[in-house]
Amino acid sequence: MENSKPRLIEKKLRTVEKRLVDLLTKAGYLKGRSRKFSEITAHIYIHQEVTQKLLRKLTGYSLGTISTTLQTLEKQGLVRRHSDPDTHEYHYELDGTVSQTLFRSLGDVQRYLYQMKEFFRGIEAKLGHPHLSRKKGYENIRQFLDEFNVIVPAHERVFQRFQTVVSDAKAKREVQ
Amino acid sequence: MASNKIPQDPHGFDPEIRQIEQEIVEFFAEKSLEFIGRHPIIAIVMAYFDIRRSLTQQDLQDLTGFSAGTISKSVRQLVDMNVVTKETIPGTHKHIYRMEKLPFTSARYFGGTGKLVEEMEKELKEMKETLDNHAEEMKDLKGYRKIYTTITQLLELISTAPMFMALIDEEVGKFIKENK
């Protein structure tokens, strides 16, 4: 009986941890990520530093899935990889705090929008050949471009303004 | 893409137009993963909806070369994301999936995001309360500090969501309303 309370407390903490992982996984899934990718990312947010073995233990996913996901996260700049000098095992460390990495991702969205705009310029040029305007499917591409050409700059303004507001609020807090 | 062979086009698009469409689809497949972590299969299927708006699962199989299982899973995720709706084709047992508006201009999509943020805030607050109520007993347990920190940082981020949604409303709201 004496051991039952600490066990209950431990269980409560693990339940919160699982809920947190599930919540972050759901949020990732609803933004178009795979459940596996989102779950692995959630564990990294919580643990801050992981190995492939630890992620395998936490998620049960194959080492192939884990390795591919970590490569993508490393490419995105979310994690940094370093080798343990004793075990030679790779460690993957969250590059900054959870807040820092998520705020940094706003910059990624801005770069994405910029590249979209550049890419659509090339598509406009291709679609501009007069002989294409009577081809089946032309109207679909035209409508797609017309909508994106308006909405992408609008979203760029949203992200620029949001970043400014957040940076100003942060600077204000630091002064205080 | 799963196959280099271009199968018959479900909407009869001209091959030259199809080539331009393919470039758009490939752009989204590559860049969505790189910048926002979106799965390439979801990005590909979504790009076809961006352009064609109404598609069956069979259409998507023909366009992408992906298996029936992969397409079924992808459209289910897009429905969950509030990006497309599912309707039954009258007189059949088949379904058609429709993107009424681009997610960037869809009240339904932004509504879903707002709801998700609300749910997240509620759940995170409940989790924080549990940890606060048992702080003394839990503080030395493995992972307590990290879990607590993650929750508080997420709550801090979520507190900026209304400001973000207000900016969306200011800059994008007029397009959402125009499209209604």
* pLDDT mean values, one per 10 residues, chain A (176 residues): 79 96 96 95 96 97 97 92 93 92 88 96 95 96 94 92 85 76
Please give the Cα distance from B168 to A51 (Å, whole number). 39
Give pLDDT, residue A10.
94
Q: Which residues of A98-111 are buried (b: 16+ CB within 10 A; e: fewer)?
A: bbebbbebeebbbe
Query: For a pLDDT cut of 70, what percent of chain B falls above it?
Result: 94
| Residue B178: exposure state from Cβ atoms within 10 A (0-12, 13-18, ≥19) | exposed
Coil, strand or helix at B53: coil
Contact call for residues A97 and A45 (beta carbons, < 8 A): no
Contact call for residues A136 and A150 (beta carbons, < 8 A): no
Give pLDDT, residue B179.
52
Give pLDDT, residue A105.
87
* Angle at B175 (CA atoms; ends B172, B180), nearest 5 degrees: 130
Give pLDDT, residue A55.
98
Q: Is B42's pLDDT higher than 90?
A: yes
> Of A14, A16, A163, A37, nearest to A102 (Cα)?
A163
Give pLDDT, residue A104.
84
Q: Model-level pTM?
A: 0.90
CB contact under 8 A, B127 and A16: yes
Tens of pLDDT, residues B15-33: 999 999 999 999 999 999 9
Q: Is B7's pLDDT higher than 70?
A: no
pLDDT band at B174 (very low <50, low <70, confident <90, very high): confident
Look at chain A and count its residues: 176
Give pLDDT, residue B75.
98
Query: What mean pLDDT is reported for chain B?
Result: 91
CB contact under 8 A, B147 and A23: no
Q: Is B3's pLDDT higher than 80?
A: no
Q: How far is A85 from chain B (nearest CA, A)?
A: 25
> How many interchain CB pairs under 8 A, A with B?
183
Query: For a pLDDT cut of 90, what percent of chain B falls above it?
Result: 72
Q: How far is A81 from chain B (nearest CA, A)?
A: 18
pLDDT band at B140 (very low <50, low <70, confident <90, very high): very high
Chain B CB within 8 Å of residue A134 CB: no
Closest-CA residue of B relative to A110 is B35
Residues in chain B closer than 8 A to A50 (CB atoms): none
Contact call for residues B71 and B64 (beta carbons, < 8 A): yes
- Chain A interface test: which of B16, B55, B144 (most A C-beta within 10 Å): B16
Please give the Cα distance from A99 to A114 (Å, whole number). 24
Tens of pLDDT, residues B64-110: 999 999 999 999 999 999 999 999 999 998 899 999 988 888 888 88
